[in-house]
Amino acid sequence: MEIYNHLILGLYGAAQECTPTEFSEQALSQLKTALHFDSGVMMNIDVVGGDKLTIRSMHLSNQPLEQLLAWDQLETPDYVLDAAFRQRGATLTNISRDTFGAHADFMDYCHRFEIAHTLIQISQPLAPNSVDLMSLWRARPEQRYVERDRKLSDLLLPHVFQASRVSRRLFDQPDAGPPQHVSVLASLHGCLHTAPADAITLLQREWREWSPPLLPPQLMRQLASSQQLLYNGDHIVVKAETLGPALHLQIAQRPATKLTAAEWNVAQLAAQGLSYKDIARQLDNSPATVRNQLHSVYNKLGVENKTQLAALWPAVMPQTLS
């Protein structure tokens, strides 16, 4: 029992020292020494209207993002997930063959992602519509979860959920004064690890049909093509930086200017001193198009050249993202 007490104390210590991404990795690594799984997932989920699920954040261990996409396309309901929601706070174990043997689509899914056995627990509601989920999978049919695993999970997983909430609260804590931006953590491939509700609202203002946990592909493409890891949209401005295995994004509502998104991109590069040709190369436009857009920027902002634009730009660009 002493070794498990040490593990639990380590979880709470990590929650205060790690980003949510780092905490998820550390928590799963520590759990693996006690529960011996091959792959797994941690999620924070919003439940709306009793049955509509929105994945707010997700951390996969030893599984590709394609697993989530494949799961979303299954025709057979996920009976294991449904059972876990009916028994929140309790650990359930499941043998894939016993539950889904008559469903070819789900069995193909389990074979593809090596899910022979599942151990799952969903927390009691953290807020009116929010729960945490942990699902741990074993690949080999002969390695069943037993009663000891279930009891050990009943002991450990509530502490994992609680420590994860501590990490998210510390990360989401606003600075003194009114917040000017919202921070988000995601994997380098764009899978959200933590995202405050305000961040989701801002992203959905730019892309109405978007929903978590994968960042909008348009955003990821723009960040990948921008040397400054910057996205200037119609409604939001996003500045990104890499933090080890994670992507840290700062999202702000776009300031009230008359610049279009295309003009904003041109102005950002021009304020850094780039030539028409360099800007055209980065934005995959012609120099003539860049010249016309930049002249429009000058007219709208009341400046005459790049030097004046560069001097004015810090006042136009959100200070938190500059």
Domain 2-170 has what CATH class?
alpha beta
Least confident of 78-82, 89-93, 134-138, 192-196: 192-196
pLDDT tens-place string over residues 219-254: 999 888 877 787 878 788 888 888 777 888 888 877
Helices and strands in the chain: count of H runs, count of E runs: 13, 10
Confidence at residue 232, expressed as pLDDT on a 0 to 100 scale: 76
What residue spans define the domains of the chain? 2-170, 182-253, 261-321
Helix or strand or coil: residue 129?
A: coil
Name the fold adopted by 261-321.
Arc Repressor Mutant, subunit A (1.10.10)
pLDDT tens-place string over residues 68-106: 889 989 999 999 999 999 999 999 999 999 999 999 999
pLDDT at 33 over 50: yes
Domains 2-170 and 261-321 share a fold: no
Residues 6+ apart with CB under 8 A from 316: 255, 257, 267, 301
- CA 177 → CA 50, 173, 174, 256, 262, distances in Å? 36, 12, 8, 21, 32
Helix or strand or coil: residue 238?
A: strand
pTM above 0.85, yes or no: no
